[in-house]
A and B are shown apart, each in its own frame.
Chain A
Amino acid sequence: MVSLSLLMPKVLLTDARAQSTNRRIFVVIQLGGGNDGLNTLIPYTDSTYHSKRPTLGFHDTELVDAQSKSMILNSQFGLHPALTQLKDLYDQNRVAIINGVGYPNPNLSHFTSMDIWHTANPTNPTGTGWLGRYADEKLAGQSGLVAASIGTLPKSLYGDQVVVPSISSFQNYTYQTDGRFTGDRNNQINTFNANNNRVFDAGSFAETIAEMSVGAVAGAAQVQAAVATYTSPVTYPAAPNPLSAALRMAAQIITTLPQANLLYVQMGGFDNHSAQIQGTNKLAGTHFTLLRYLSEAVKAFYDDLAAHGLADKTLIMEWSEFGRRPNENASFGTDHGTTSQMMVIGDPVVKGVYGEQPSLTDLDQAGNMKMKVDFREVYATILNKWLGVDAQEVLGGSFDDVGFLG
């Protein structure tokens, strides 16, 4: 069952999108390590869930946040108590959750599974990334900063033409020259450009590096100038929330550089083979803390975009390379699993829980859930309905629309 947005009925939403500027911002949040989806979107009425997770599982009475607000979404699912701000956004019709997401022949290696999601190619996960291919098609040739990754560059953004910068700190993001001889700086920059703007052997490391180098220096100058003008009424969650710091940097870029519409941030730490909770306390420990970071950071980011008039122009997608095994292990953790949930957040979504809860009794040979939704359907929905490209070209195949964008 899909409920219509109360604030912006489906019909008007379409009109509003057509009338707004062409800006379609897309922000990807990658949770590294394999987020335990079964404890994120919780099937609290399922007795098998409770028998498999006597220590880690949440009962309906436990599905409340620190202020005793209910985290229950409907008669089947609740959200992890740490996700209080995301529950607020859900109640405001700004969150779509897709359940049972995976791909055929699931791979339990972090690196292989990540590559599969990055390339959108379960059978041969090499080469360009899905967002790199999107950028090559839609963003190539545009001047200025069109995309950026905060931190390292993910394979999702590997493309053939567009070089996406990865930025870990704005302060360091500039080409420095000798402070004792500032008059010589132009000579240095001219020499640098002359040496890096050459023709190299096609496909060689030198060619890639030279291209990146030129882009780095030019892009850095542009970014430095722009982000210095950023102001915001929002206070982001303090350190050590790593996602908060990253999303704030993304907001600085988005709000000061009007062509920057594709942003990527990451937060790791989800590979909890042991001690997923603190002792037997489910309201503390690694998973709780990471989900709290996610919830608080996304809320601040959303508020910041709203303050800049960009809330209706931004879509956020969260993913992880796999979920975790339904059975908890003896170390109060969980081992690698298969399907999980994904969240798509923002004004443009049609709120609801999509997909289907995989059976906890009919599991695969390794004791993991069988998929209900291929992650490429989520990608396709976003590519077609939000990013305005032909998903089939980017994904190399045709995938059903999930429905969360109307």
Chain B
Amino acid sequence: MAFTNEDAAHLLRRMGFGGNLDEISDLEARGKEGAVDYLLNYQSINNQPLDDLLAASFNFADPRDNNRFNQGEIRRWWMTRMVHSRRQFEEKMTLFWHNHFATALSQVQEIYMYIQNLKFRQYGLSRFDDLLLAVSQDAAMLIWLNGLQNVAGSPNENFGRELQELFSMGILDPVTGQANYTEDDVKQVARAFTGWKFRNPRQAGDPYNVEWFVQNNQHDNGNKTIYAGTPYQVSGNLSGQDVITVICNRPQTGRFLTKRLFDFFGYPLTSSSEDKATIDKFASVYASNNHSIKELVRAIFTSSEFFSERARYALVKQPVEYIVGAIRMLGADYRPGANISGDRNQTSNVLAGFSRNMTQDIFNPPDVAGWDLHLGWTNTATMLERFNFANSLVTSRNHTNPGVSITNDQLGKYTKSKSKKTVNKFLDVMNLFGVPKQVKTNLRNYLETNDQGVKVGYNRDDIDKKIRGLVHQIMCLPEFELN
């Protein structure tokens, strides 16, 4: 089946944050499998411009230097990456894992949140077992879910519960509807992880090297039995690693991961028999590829399900998708500014601020279940925040200071001599294919109406007022809220 321009745009909005017309055409030319492979194998993509920008804008050499490394700086760092990285899928997949293993700055220091972010990049497409183990041994998770207080004789159940409920299998098997574990399993699993600690780097030269270890006299070496009475029952002096292996081998893990991936990248799944079949189809890919996340997502992104009618505009844009997508589609500019000297006044963290107002505070999800997707993003206050960000973006006319802006010249690239063509072109740029005729008429009327409310005709040169206004209005369309 042909891989169209719209297909390529759909793929780039999902695997990345969207892009301009050239980027979409480039993907289109690769065909479906080629485009997915290109985005998936991002380590082969030349990312030098981003690396240069990061080197000029950030100085994380000494994380104890609070002027150069702090909560605001790591947010500015990640927003810069989302906008400017050519390895778009790396950023999007990292965001997926951040939402899945949702620890937060509210209780975890920024250095551990930053290290965790690097772990997501390192293990994000590997075997799920490896990622799950790395995250469980990581300082952020040990702090967030009281792993450090989990000791033999007085186990703390927080991690034992969320490991099963949120990170691997879910409460119920999405296909059979059966409970995946009991309250007793929570207790037994907690015992397996007792004594898990981390130690901070001993050498100043390697400030990000945080080591995991087990405090033996706090580890419960007793016999544990998990999933008693089920086909997954196992007994013995189980360690945390053993438990992770058992869980990752359970079909429920492949099913739950599939559901989570579809919710974030595809379309929300229901309990219909069609959707249960979809879950099992991709859970099989997980199982037959040694739990490879890379092959699981490859299968999803090349599937007929992903390119079906149902999948198109089936998601609500996350705040960062709304913000970063608009910038990338339009060719606006985000200049993060530079903090090499320790002077934060030369930087702009405006994008992280907008996203926080829309209730996606990156590095700080509200709780361990992550963010509430889709209509969870939308209420009357956040809709206003989106519209007001759109207004900020189009009215940003300072092109030298740190911050976000768009020039008249850039907007001029898509401005045509006739209002109809201009409207169509900008709808294309914003990836809105197939909006109803009524909307196009409304937008043309906007372009042609003067301050007194009289329809006087379209002035192609009035970019600074009317084209900026047009983009604002397009970003306020319900269709634009969708991905």
Q: Does A227 contact B (CB under 8 A)?
A: no
State in angstroms the CA–CA spacing of A122 and B189 once bound together.
27
State in angstroms the CA–CA spacing of A333 and B157 once bound together.
12
Q: Does B197 contact A (CB under 8 A)?
A: no
B-side contacts of A110, CB under 8 Å:
367, 369
Q: How many A-B residue pairs have CB under 8 A?
A: 172
From residue B389, how far is it (CB to closest CB) to chain A in Å? Answer: 10
B-side contacts of A213, CB under 8 Å:
383, 387, 476, 478
Q: Is the interface of B mostly helix, strand, loop or mixed?
A: helix
Q: Does A192 contact B (CB under 8 A)?
A: yes
Nearest CB to that of B473 among chain A residues?
A191
State in angstroms the CA–CA spacing of A222 and B482 once bound together.
28
Segment at the interface with A among B2-10, B119-127, B398-406, B434-442: B434-442
Within 8 A of B (CB), among A276-295: none
Segment at the interface with A among B134-142, B223-231, B446-454: B446-454
Please state if A205 and B379 are interface contacts (CB–CB under 8 Å): no
Segment at the interface with A among B38-46, B233-241, B283-291, B464-472: B464-472
From residue B103, how far is it (CB to closest CB) to chain A in Å? Answer: 14
Please state if A187 and B387 are interface contacts (CB–CB under 8 Å): no
State in angstroms the CA–CA spacing of A402 and B466 once bound together.
62
A-side contacts of B443, CB under 8 Å:
191, 195
State in angstroms the CA–CA spacing of A222 and B46 once bound together.
52
Q: Does A220 contact B (CB under 8 A)?
A: yes
A-side contacts of B313, CB under 8 Å:
205
Place the interface of chain B in its size category.
35 or more
From residue A147, how far is it (CB to closest CB) to chain B in Å? Answer: 11
Please state if A175 and B469 are interface contacts (CB–CB under 8 Å): no
B-side contacts of A207, CB under 8 Å:
478
Please state if B472 and A172 are interface contacts (CB–CB under 8 Å): no
State in angstroms the CA–CA spacing of A111 and B371 once bound together.
12
Q: Does A309 contact B (CB under 8 A)?
A: no
Please state if A188 and B446 are interface contacts (CB–CB under 8 Å): yes
Please state if B379 and A209 are interface contacts (CB–CB under 8 Å): no
Please state if A209 and B378 are interface contacts (CB–CB under 8 Å): yes
Q: Does A48 contact B (CB under 8 A)?
A: no
Place the interface of chain A in its size category.
35 or more
State in angstroms the CA–CA spacing of A382 and B60 once bound together.
55
Nearest CB to that of B159 among chain A residues?
A273
Within 8 A of A (CB), among B406-439: 436, 438-439
A-side contacts of B168, CB under 8 Å:
none
Nearest CB to that of B374 among chain A residues?
A205
Q: Mark A162-173, 1 if CB is under 8 A from B, else 0.
A: 011111100011
Please state if B465 and A196 are interface contacts (CB–CB under 8 Å): no
Q: Does A25 contact B (CB under 8 A)?
A: no
Please state if B465 and A206 are interface contacts (CB–CB under 8 Å): no
Within 8 A of A (CB), among B343-388: 357, 359, 366-367, 369, 374-375, 378-385, 387-388
> Which of A109, A177, A205, A330 has the most C-beta atoms of chain B within 10 angstroms of its own C-beta?
A205
Known: A331-B156, A365-B183. A210 touches B380 (CB 8 A): no
From residue A159, how far is it (CB to closest CB) to chain B in Å? Answer: 13
Q: Does A397 contact B (CB under 8 A)?
A: no
Please state if A195 and B156 are interface contacts (CB–CB under 8 Å): no
Within 8 A of A (CB), among B145-172: 146, 149, 151, 153-154, 156-158, 161, 165, 171
Nearest CB to that of B149 among chain A residues?
A331
State in angstroms the CA–CA spacing of A165 and B479 once bound together.
21
State in angstroms the CA–CA spacing of A183 and B450 once bound together.
9
B-side contacts of A177, CB under 8 Å:
391, 469, 472
Please state if B161 and A195 are interface contacts (CB–CB under 8 Å): no
State in angstroms the CA–CA spacing of A164 and B466 once bound together.
33
Q: Does B221 contact A (CB under 8 A)?
A: no
Q: Which residues in A have some Cβ–Cβ distance to B below 8 Å?
A: 108-112, 149, 152-153, 163-168, 172-181, 183-184, 186-188, 190-192, 194-196, 198, 200, 205-210, 212-213, 215-217, 219-220, 268, 273-274, 329-331, 333, 335-336, 365-366
Report 24 cross-chain contacts, Cβ distance below 8 Å, ordered by A residue.
Answer: A164-B379, A165-B379, A165-B380, A165-B381, A166-B381, A172-B384, A176-B388, A178-B391, A184-B451, A184-B466, A187-B446, A187-B469, A192-B473, A195-B477, A196-B477, A200-B478, A205-B375, A206-B481, A212-B379, A213-B383, A213-B387, A213-B478, A273-B156, A329-B156
Beyond A205-B375, A268-B367, list 11 extra A-B contacts (CB 8 Å): A167-B381, A172-B388, A174-B384, A178-B395, A192-B387, A195-B478, A200-B478, A206-B481, A217-B384, A329-B156, A331-B154
Shortest beta-carbon contacts, A-B, top 10: A183-B451, A330-B154, A165-B380, A216-B380, A331-B149, A153-B379, A191-B446, A210-B478, A206-B478, A166-B379
